[in-house]
């Protein structure tokens, strides 16, 4: 069961940098929408800095969805999120995370006991992927998910509904039942109704194998070949405007 928070006074809470703002996605004329508090990251004088802006796109331009897996511990545990492609090199990555206060350090065990708030971070890939691959030196993999544009749209809209709900209705993160992978599972049933909770979802480092078995990833390659082809290439010293193109499978810098 998802437990909600029933208190809120942001004036007394000092959030860890990067979590000060919560996103919201508002639709306007036609299928045009604006992401409020779209997050960006940059390295300034060797310091990781975040800023927020409004970003406007059109739902009709959605083309793809990628599964991103970032290994920060063992091969069995990883952070998993999705990135939606809108053409013209535009990507909207959405990462489900713990919203921590300055005084809080992340602990898997504390995540069982209603310690952290849940947040959906909506950001560009230089932020959500670049931080992990370039700054934290994690092993990051990007897999194109084999679904239609219509399914991409359905999954994205499901995310939008949850993001807007969380704007003013806070929930606790839970390591077992309300985390990055279980929430992706709920959203992704739009694409794969047979996507069930099992040990490969619990041990999130194996989600690529699970998606591969379901036929959601490229099966012209073995899973080992696909992993080798999908690892983010360490080609950049900085997070520049071409980041999303440079990290895609198939690119190999010198």
- Whether 122 maps to a domain, the answer reads yes
- Whether 2 maps to a domain, the answer reads no
| Higher-confidence position of 235 and 215 | 215
Q: How confident is the model at residue 106 (pLDDT cuts 50, 70, 90)?
A: confident
Asked if the model's pLDDT at residue 93 lies above 80, the reply is yes
- Asked if 110 and 144 touch (Cβ cutoff 8 Å), the reply is no
Percent over 90 (pLDDT), the chain: 57
The first and second tokens of residue 44, run together, are: 């300034």
Q: How far apart are CA 68 and CA 142, in angstroms?
A: 5
60-92 pLDDT tens trace: 999 999 999 999 888 898 999 999 999 888 999
The first and second tokens of residue 146, run together, are: 């084999």
Q: How far apart are CA 112 and CA 91, in angstroms?
A: 32
Q: What is the pTM of this model?
A: 0.90
- Asked if 3 and 174 touch (Cβ cutoff 8 Å), the reply is yes
Asked if the model's pLDDT at residue 1 lies above 50, the reply is no
Domain count, the chain: 1
23-62 pLDDT tens trace: 999 999 889 999 999 999 887 777 888 999 999 999 999 9
Query: Which range among 99-103, 110-114, 122-126, 199-203 shows the weakest confidence by mean pLDDT?
Result: 199-203
- Whether 19 maps to a domain, the answer reads no
152-211 pLDDT tens trace: 999 999 999 999 999 999 999 988 888 888 899 889 887 677 777 787 777 889 999 999
Residues facing residue 52 across a β-bridge: 39
Q: Which pairs with CB-CB distance under 8 Å and at least 24 residues apart come from 230-236?
A: 230/141, 230/142, 230/143, 231/139, 231/140, 231/141, 232/129, 232/133, 232/140, 232/141, 232/142, 234/133, 234/134, 236/130, 236/134
Contacts of 114 (CB under 8 A, 6+ apart): 3, 172, 174
- Whether 76 maps to a domain, the answer reads yes
- Asked if 133 and 247 touch (Cβ cutoff 8 Å), the reply is yes
- Whether 14 maps to a domain, the answer reads no
Q: Looking at residue 233, what DSSP letter applies?
A: P
> Which pLDDT belongs to residue 75?
87
- Whether 168 maps to a domain, the answer reads yes
Asked if the model's pLDDT at residue 219 lies above 50, the reply is yes
Provide the residue range defining the domain that includes 141.
24-247
- Whether 172 maps to a domain, the answer reads yes
- Whether 4 maps to a domain, the answer reads no
Neighbouring CB atoms inside 10 A of 113's CB total 11
């Amino acid at each position: 069961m998802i437990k909600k928070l029933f208190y809120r006074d942001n004036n007394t809470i000092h959030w860890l940098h990067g979590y000060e703002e919560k996103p919201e996605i508002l639709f306007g004329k036609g299928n045009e929408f604006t992401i409020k508090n779209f997050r960006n990251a940059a390295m300034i004088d060797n310091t990781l800095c975040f800023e927020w802006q409004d970003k406007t796109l059109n739902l009709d331009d959605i083309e793809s969805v990628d599964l991103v897996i970032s290994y920060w511990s063992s091969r069995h545990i990883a952070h998993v999120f999705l990135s939606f492609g809108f053409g013209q090199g535009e990507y909207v990555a959405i990462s489900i995370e713990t919203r921590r206060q300055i005084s809080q350090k992340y602990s898997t065990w504390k995540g069982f006991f209603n310690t952290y708030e849940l947040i959906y971070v909506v950001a560009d890939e230089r932020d959500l992927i670049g931080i992990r691959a370039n700054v934290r030196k994690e092993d990051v993999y990007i897999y194109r998910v084999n679904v239609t544009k219509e399914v991409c749209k359905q999954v994205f809209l499901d995310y939008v509904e949850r993001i807007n709900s969380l704007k003013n209705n806070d929930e606790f993160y839970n390591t077992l039942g309300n985390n990055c992978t279980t929430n992706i599972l709920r959203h992704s049933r739009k694409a794969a109704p047979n996507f069930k909770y099992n040990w490969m979802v619990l041990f999130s480092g194996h989600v690529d194998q699970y998606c591969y078995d379901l036929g959601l990833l490229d099966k012209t390659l073995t899973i080992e070949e696909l992993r080798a082809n999908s690892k983010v290439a360490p080609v950049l010293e900085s997070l520049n405007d071409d980041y999303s193109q440079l990290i895609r499978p198939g690119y190999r810098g010198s």
